[in-house]
């Protein structure tokens, strides 16, 4: 009996800034079980990061640290292809073809383009506008059926679907039309200082997020300063729409400790916010310390990381070359004689 072919999933993270607890709980941690169900490709999307000015040495350092972090968080290079976007040149080549069927109006409407244009008004470059097209290329190049994303990236996957369908209609079936694979947990992790906003590594207030590289003292300090609520029920640890700060901390505690929200509410009933915040810190630290230790160990073995990246890029390139050759033929380009 023939072995069942796994469907493919693709996802990537930029090597910019610090990876937050929200990134981990909402995305990276959820990738580990996907490796058993899907043929997974995980990419460090370094080309995307160039839409904002980077310090070259820091970008190289952040990229390697992110690769080590992927593995430390449970990505198994024996099960999944782990590679750097710029190591597979087909990403940019397919992006150019997709640019020719993407419309300026639809790119102008992208929420992330408008947000980043406001934040970086002195550097509104074409890469910033074309970011979603390169993301579409990342996905379509591998004929991925699924894209694990947070809610903030759904609009980009919808554009990817539109471009795939548009190309298929114009040139005949070529691309798999992908679907979002939304996380069932962790997508609601909010800022510790603005609990109605998403926890973000670009938050100018460093007390708003926990970085996966934060030490124990920093984690405790940030959680003790976390916004709770000031109402007549101020010391009640309860998950409720009218208590966004406490609810956010409960979500974090639940995900890090493996305790249900209801169990956590019972556990901290009548104990006050100080005790509760210390317990949240303990739960976060228990999750992050092993990851930090493993990432440090991996960064000490550069030869191993380079071997992982070469193997991942080789697998990715094999798939990418086949897709791009098909695309070039469909649009009328003459193949190179080798």
**Which pLDDT score is estimated for 338?**
73
Within a domain: residue 337?
A: no
Instruction: Measure the CA dihedral 321/324/326/331, to 10°.
Output: -160
Q: Which pLDDT tens digit goes with each residue over 46-64? A: 999 998 889 999 999 999 9
Same domain? 43 vs 181: yes
User: Is residue 198 annotated as a catalytic residue, yes or no?
Assistant: yes
Same domain? 58 vs 173: yes
Q: Which pLDDT tens digit goes with each residue over 154-193? A: 888 999 999 999 999 999 999 999 999 877 655 579 999 9
Smallest CA-to-CA distance from 29 within 67, 70, 68 is with: 70
Same domain? 53 vs 172: yes
Same domain? 136 vs 18: yes
Contact 320, 293 (CB under 8 A): no
Which one is catalytic: 116, 190, 222, 243? 116
Contact 313, 84 (CB under 8 A): yes
Which one is catalytic: 201, 322, 326, 330? 201
Within a domain: residue 268?
A: yes
Contact 97, 327 (CB under 8 A): yes
Within a domain: residue 3?
A: no
Q: Which pLDDT tens digit goes with each residue over 77-109? A: 999 999 999 999 999 999 999 999 999 888 888
Number of structural domains, the chain? 2
Residue 260: domain span: 206-296
Within a domain: residue 336?
A: no
Higher pLDDT, 83 or 198: 83
Structure tokens at 317: 């390139």
**Which pLDDT score is estimated for 330?**
97
Question: Quick one: average pLDDT of 296-306?
Answer: 97
**Cα 46 from Cα 14, distance rounded (Å):** 6
Same domain? 243 vs 315: no
Same domain? 283 vs 151: no
Which one is catalytic: 190, 198, 222, 243? 198
Strand 39-44 to 8-13 pairing: parallel
Within a domain: residue 92?
A: yes
Structure tokens at 251: 């979500």
Within a domain: residue 108?
A: yes
- Three-state DSSP at 256 gives helix
Long-range contacts of 149-153 (CB under 8 A, 24+ apart): 149/11, 149/27, 149/180, 149/181, 149/182, 150/26, 150/27, 150/182, 150/183, 150/187, 151/182, 151/187, 152/112, 152/198, 153/180
Question: Quick one: average pLDDT of 32-57?
Answer: 93
Same domain? 289 vs 306: no
- Three-state DSSP at 263 gives helix
- CATH number of the domain within which 267 lies: 1.10.240.10
Same domain? 308 vs 289: no
User: Is residue 315 annotated as a catalytic residue, yes or no?
Assistant: no
Residue-averaged pLDDT of the chain: 90
Same domain? 244 vs 167: no
- CATH number of the domain within which 89 lies: 3.40.50.620
Same domain? 212 vs 165: no
Q: Tokens 């995307």 identify what position?
A: 48
Within a domain: residue 145?
A: yes
Same domain? 88 vs 211: no
**Cα 99 from Cα 176, distance rounded (Å):** 18
Within a domain: residue 26?
A: yes
Same domain? 283 vs 307: no
CB-count exposure of residue 309 (10 Å: 0-12, 13-18, 19+): buried
User: Is residue 310 annotated as a catalytic residue, yes or no?
Assistant: no
Please spell the DSSP secondary structure of 41-81, one letter per residue: EEEE-HHHHTTS---HHHHHHHHHHHHHHHHHTT--TTTSE
């Amino acid at each position: 009996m023939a072995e069942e072919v796994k469907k493919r999933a693709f996802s990537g993270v930029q090597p910019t800034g610090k990876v937050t607890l929200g990134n981990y709980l909402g995305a990276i941690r959820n990738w580990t079980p996907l490796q058993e169900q899907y043929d997974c490709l995980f990419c460090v999307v370094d080309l995307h990061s160039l839409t904002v000015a980077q310090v070259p040495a820091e970008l190289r350092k952040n990229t390697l640290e992110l690769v080590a972090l992927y593995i430390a968080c449970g990505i198994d290079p024996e099960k999944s292809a782990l590679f750097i976007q710029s190591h597979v040149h087909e990403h940019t080549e397919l992006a150019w073809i997709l640019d020719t069927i993407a419309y300026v109006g639809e790119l102008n409407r992208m929420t992330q383009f408008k947000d980043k244009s406001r934040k970086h008004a002195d550097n509104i470059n074409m890469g910033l506008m074309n970011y979603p097209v390169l993301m579409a290329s990342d996905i379509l190049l591998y004929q991925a059926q699924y894209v694990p994303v947070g809610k903030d990236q759904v609009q980009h996957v919808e554009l990817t679907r539109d471009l795939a369908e548009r190309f298929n209609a114009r040139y005949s079936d070529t691309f798999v039309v992908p679907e979002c694979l939304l996380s069932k947990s962790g997508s609601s992790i909010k800022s510790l200082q603005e609990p109605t906003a998403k926890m973000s590594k670009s938050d100018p207030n460093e007390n708003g997020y926990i970085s996966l590289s934060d030490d124990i003292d920093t984690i405790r300090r940030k959680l003790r300063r976390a916004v709770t609520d000031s109402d007549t029920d101020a010391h009640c640890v309860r998950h409720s729409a009218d208590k966004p700060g406490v609810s956010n901390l409960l979500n974090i505690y639940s995900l890090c400790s493996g305790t249900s929200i209801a169990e956590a509410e019972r556990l901290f009933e009548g104990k006050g916010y100080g005790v509760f915040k210390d317990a949240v810190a303990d739960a976060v630290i228990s999750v992050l310390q092993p990851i930090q230790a493993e990432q440090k160990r991996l960064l000490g073995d550069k030869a191993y990381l380079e071997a992982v990246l070469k193997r991942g890029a080789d697998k990715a390139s094999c798939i990418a070359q086949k897709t791009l050759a098909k695309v070039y033929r469909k649009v009328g380009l003459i193949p190179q004689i080798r």
